[in-house]
Amino acid sequence: MVSTDILAKITTWKSDIFDAETQQQLRDLEAQGQKELLEAFYKDLEFGTGGMRGIMGVGTNRINKYTLGKSTQGLSDYLHSSFPNQPISVAIAFDCRHNSDTLAQVVANVFSANDIKVYLFESLRPTPELSFAVRKLQCQAGIVLTASHNPPEYNGYKVYWNDGGQLVPPQDKELIAVIDALQYQDIRFEPKPEHITKIGAEIDQEFIKSTIQNATILQKAGARDDLKIVFTSLHGTSITVVPETLKKAGYSQVHIVEEQKTPDGNFPTVVSPNPEEPEALTLALALAEKVGADIVIGTDPDCDRLGVAVRNNEGKMELLNGNQLMILLTALLLEKWQSEKRLNGKQFVGSTIVSTPMMHALAESYDVRCMVGLTGFKWIAKMIKDHPELEFIGGGEESFGYMVGDNVRDKDAVASTLLACELATYAKASGSSVYNELQNLYIDLGYFHETLISLTKKGIDGLAEIQAMMTGFRNDPPRSIAGQAVVMIEDYLTSKCIDLTVNREEELDLPKSDVLIFYLADGSKIAMRPSGTEPKIKFYVSVTAAVETHEELQAAKLECKEHVAAIVADLNLN
């Protein structure tokens, strides 16, 4: 049964506030039945970990010209109040998804109608280039129309502030309050074309130049010519800048997966355009065998995440997970900074509470501080903003994102792709390999094994199920998991850390978030959180073992894998 509140929303959307096309879409939706109607209106789209993301269509819980128009009107009002009596400008980029270009134009029109200067990219561009453009053009804010690696029916809206990072508290809550106070009739859709400027090649060249300056490590001329790279854009935006960046950096053997080269919001050659999923790199791995590649790299549609495969000791391509890639890239940067005698106690690396604890061990080995924030690169960007006295070296998270330096204040698969190639070139020129470098890090720092369990729960019922799971673990936490006692619980929703060994409670000094973390007596860690951008609940399992030799490392891999399986089974996550 549709509630009175939802019926009132639907009635509003039938009024002449909304255009004829929207009203026809609503009639079509009503013809599909109450379930579809309820899904479209039972809530308003919310800002999550990566901005606002949802299925495209009519309704308050959908991405359309009115939900984005309302958000943009609210952001326009918020910008005018935040920067009174100042000229205000914003930059707008969009990806390859269906309607991204037209929705970007709607957003540009609303900003211009509010006397805000708009720099609108002429065609699709990577998300990290938008972050760069905000700072380069000295804008007060930026917008990207993207849903990252979500299915084709999704789109989204990410908001950046003048530091090039995404909005964080308290600004996000302040903005949401402004948006919620608006009515749909308050949206100014009529553009002022004189306020809209198209941008493109000139920003591309500045972005590529900055990326090469920031992410090149090698000094030896000609070494890059020996590296064979297979690259796939997975039908996304990276094709616009990554090949040119690699070429200008000196990489001549770049083999592009032609079947996935053309931007296409249907993502026709993959089940999901997500480099976290091994299936997404199937064509790239096949090409790697054909050309004898050293490294395979694939980026997601908006080019902020990357998946990497390298050859193992048997010569077979092996996919790295996000934690492994983060450790390898950070180790390379730390080694570079140390060799240049730039480490003086005023540097830091960044990570998140659900990523590998190995980042702490790595940073400690170089006497560098490791800062940890909530999930999402907006928190790493905030670290940079909050600590101007410190230099940011690099940082990442388990979900295949990495940020090199602070020219871009978000995860950046352009710079990370280049840095990964630098790593592979350095290893090959040294008679080693990326795989060997990772094994050596395990022997030096200990073996860390991580697994992500992601459970999809769609719709209203799925949301209730996710909430029930979190409530169950929160109100009745396990005392032991897989035979190991739970020794500490961190609850970021209540900001409490409970040390069960001494029955002591302390305050957590990070913002509130629906995240629970259990620490076991043997050093294992289990984190859980609802996704901020997808209908999923995620469980992050990390186990570790001390090793001193390659033989011990092989045994530890098997033991840790079995331990993870036991944890997953005990928590009933299969």
Helix (H, G, I), strand (E, B) or coil at 456: strand
Angle, alpha carbons 470-474-478 (nearest 5°) = 110
**Which tokens belong to 496?**
């409490």
Quickly list H helices, 167-233: 171-180, 201-215
**Which tokens belong to 559?**
């033991």
Distance CA 228, CA 293 (A): 5
Identified catalytic residue from 100, 131, 148, 524: 148
Q: Count the neighbouring beta carbons within 10 Å of the beta carbon of residue 265.
A: 21
Which residue carries 């198209």 as its tokens? 198
Q: Count the neighbouring beta carbons within 10 Å of the beta carbon of residue 270.
A: 20
Residue 123 · residue 200 · CB < 8 Å: yes
Which residue carries 């409970």 as its tokens? 498
Angle, alpha carbons 382-386-389 (nearest 5°) = 130
* Enclosing H/E stretch for 449: strand 447-456
Q: Count the neighbouring beta carbons within 10 Å of the beta carbon of residue 184.
A: 16
477 burial level (CB within 10 Å; 0-12, 13-18, 19+) = middle
Distance CA 193, CA 159 (A): 22
* Enclosing H/E stretch for 350: strand 347-352
Strands, sheet with 391-397, edge to edge from the N-terminal-most edge strand: 369-373, 347-352, 391-397, 401-404
234: left (phi over 0), alpha (psi -120 to 50) or beta: left
Directed axis angle between helix 434-445 and helix 413-429, to 10°?
90
Task: Please give the sequence-ordered ranges of beta strands (E in DSSP) within 98-245, or none if there are none.
Answer: 117-121, 141-145, 154-161, 196-199, 229-232
Distance CA 544, CA 404 (A): 27
Helix (H, G, I), strand (E, B) or coil at 492: coil
CA distances from 67 to 6, 45, 55, 200, 547 (A): 16, 8, 12, 27, 53
| Length of the chain (residues) | 574
398 burial level (CB within 10 Å; 0-12, 13-18, 19+) = buried
Distance CA 350, CA 490 (A): 20
Whether 148 is a known active-site residue: answer yes
Which residues belong to the active site? 148
